[in-house]
Amino acid sequence: MVLTSRLRRDGYEVVDFGHPVDLLIINTCSVTEDAERTCRYAIRKTLRHSPHAFVAVTGCYAQTGVRELAAIPGIDLVIGNQYKWDVPNLLPPPDTLKKLPKARVLHTKTLGREDFIMPFYGEPSTTRALVKIQDGCNVMCSFCIIPFARGHERSRVLEDVYQEAEILAKGGFREIVLTGVNLGQYSHDGRDFLQLIDRLESIPQLERIRISSIEPATITKALIDRIAASTKVCPYLHVPLQSGDDSILSAMNRPYRLKEFTALVEYACSTIPGLGLGTDLMVGFPGESEAAFLNTYHVAETLPFSYFHVFPYSSRPGTAAVKLPGQVSPVVSSERVRALTALSNRKRAQFVQHHIGRTVSVLFESGERDGFRVGTAPNFLHVAVPSVQAPEGEVRPVLVSGTSDRWAVGQTNPESEMILSGESTL
């Protein structure tokens, strides 16, 4: 969003991917091999229909795979994460935009450790905005390339976060989502994550604050209590478990064990009314036996998750897990992904079913599907209602009356306008 907003201000028209373009900027991911493959596909596809397009690549793949990217024909600019927010300044002027004879590279092997500020541009909108508050990670999980791609933990200056959130709220955004690599480690000038939330809650126009994925070892009882007591912080947590087997957690170098994770989940669910709870699960990690996988399956089935994301282990160069014995075959990994994905679908259906007959507060988003508009409740329940009842960007009470494949279905409930902030609005 930051890059898009800046480019619009510089006179560019932003189009959907797949349309003919003069300029392609790809903000890449390197968490898995598939993510890198998707980046290369996007470049090839763009150059097929726009052979003269200027191609700039930034993000994590540009940080960890700089040589590989610079060697790909058609790429003009490779920009590591240290210079990511400078991309608009590094582009040729729009009227002189043309391909370079070979890729220009701006890259540093190591990234700064200082707390940071970042550019932001408040564009009028009516739904949700992502607000980055933190970057980097010091944990060094054995499977994870992120510390190499993003560097050491560092936090965004608190007042810089506040100013962006305030501008976004005044511009019409109803919800902000706090993002970062290791959110719970936020710390600037002695002020921690809870104190940042305190500051953001003071913005009068801001209706919802959503915490994105947050590591279990950083979630305190004080944070859970604060979510439970808040009228603005959404009753929602996405807490990556990765594995339900302690031996695998140890091999992953995860800083918790199953007993601690379970106690955390039990406290959160007993404290936060209507909590929506998601997690990440990785299968096929080196050494994951059938028994270890079944432990993960049992935990996923037993704990009150609303849904989970399931990933096969992806070997990342430079990580400790590459050297571990007991590599799991892709066929076995795929079977385990399918089993857990099917379980997640059942858990999601149960979560939706639980809301039938209840009134929930729903923020409706852009786009229609078969005459319906989908929005989200504070606890991340997805709700669809007839589009005529749900103007984009509006928050409406919805009486949930049924389910579909992936979300709840209901009708807006005008008689419930007065309970939008009450206990009934999950």
Would you tell me how many other CB atoms lie within 10 Å of the CB of residue 55? 24
Task: Supply angle C-alpha 9, 14, 16, rounded to 5.
Answer: 165
Cβ contact 29:42 at 8 Å: no
Cβ contact 43:103 at 8 Å: no
Cβ contact 378:208 at 8 Å: yes
Q: List the beta strands (DSSP E) in 60-188.
A: 77-79, 104-106, 128-132, 134-135, 154-155, 175-179, 187-188
Phi-psi category of 20—alpha, beta or left, where left has phi over 0 and alpha has psi -120 to 50? beta
CA–CA separation, 120 and 247 (whole Å): 43
CA–CA separation, 29 and 81 (whole Å): 11
Rounded to 10 deg, the angle between the 290-302 and 330-353 helix axes is 10
10 Å CB burial of residue 32 (0-12, 13-18, 19+) is: middle
pLDDT at 82: 87
pLDDT for 51-96, tens place per residue?
999 999 999 999 999 999 999 999 999 999 988 888 888 888 888 8
| DSSP codes joined into one string, 215-261 | -GGG--HHHHHHHHH-SSB-SEEE---B-S-HHHHHHTT-S--HHHH
The domain segmentation of the chain, as residue ranges, is 2-106, 110-234, 240-352, 359-413
Phi-psi category of 159—alpha, beta or left, where left has phi over 0 and alpha has psi -120 to 50? alpha
Does the domain formed by 359-413 have CATH 2.40.50.140?
Answer: yes
How far, CA to CA in Å, does 29 sit from each of 57, 145, 190? Answer: 11, 10, 31
pLDDT at 69: 93
pTM of the complete model: 0.88
CA–CA separation, 254 and 291 (whole Å): 19
> Do 110-234 and 240-352 show the same overall fold?
yes
pLDDT at 422: 41
The SS3 of residue 371 is coil
Cβ contact 262:296 at 8 Å: no
The SS3 of residue 335 is helix
The SS3 of residue 155 is strand
**Protein fold of 110-234:** Transcription Regulator spoIIAA (3.30.750)
10 Å CB burial of residue 369 (0-12, 13-18, 19+) is: exposed
pLDDT at 124: 55
> Looking at domain 240-352, which of 3.50.30.50, 1.20.950.20, 3.30.300.180, 3.30.750.200 is its CATH number?
3.30.750.200
CA–CA separation, 424 and 46 (whole Å): 48
How far, CA to CA in Å, does 75 sit from each of 19, 34, 67, 230? Answer: 18, 19, 12, 48
Phi then psi dihedrals of residue 100, to 5 deg = -95, 155
CA–CA separation, 49 and 134 (whole Å): 37
CA–CA separation, 134 and 138 (whole Å): 12
pLDDT at 46: 86
**How many CA atoms are closer than 13 Å to the CA of 363, on its beta-carbon side?**
22
pLDDT at 120: 65
Would you tell me how many other CB atoms lie within 10 Å of the CB of residue 130? 13
CA–CA separation, 421 and 426 (whole Å): 9
List, in order, residues 6 or more apart from 67 with CB less than 8 Å away: none
Written as six digits, the tokens of 278 are 């998601």
Counting as low any pLDDT under 50, the low residues of the chain are: 417-425
List, in order, residues 6 or more apart from 83 with CB less than 8 Å away: 58, 90, 106, 107
Cβ contact 391:379 at 8 Å: no
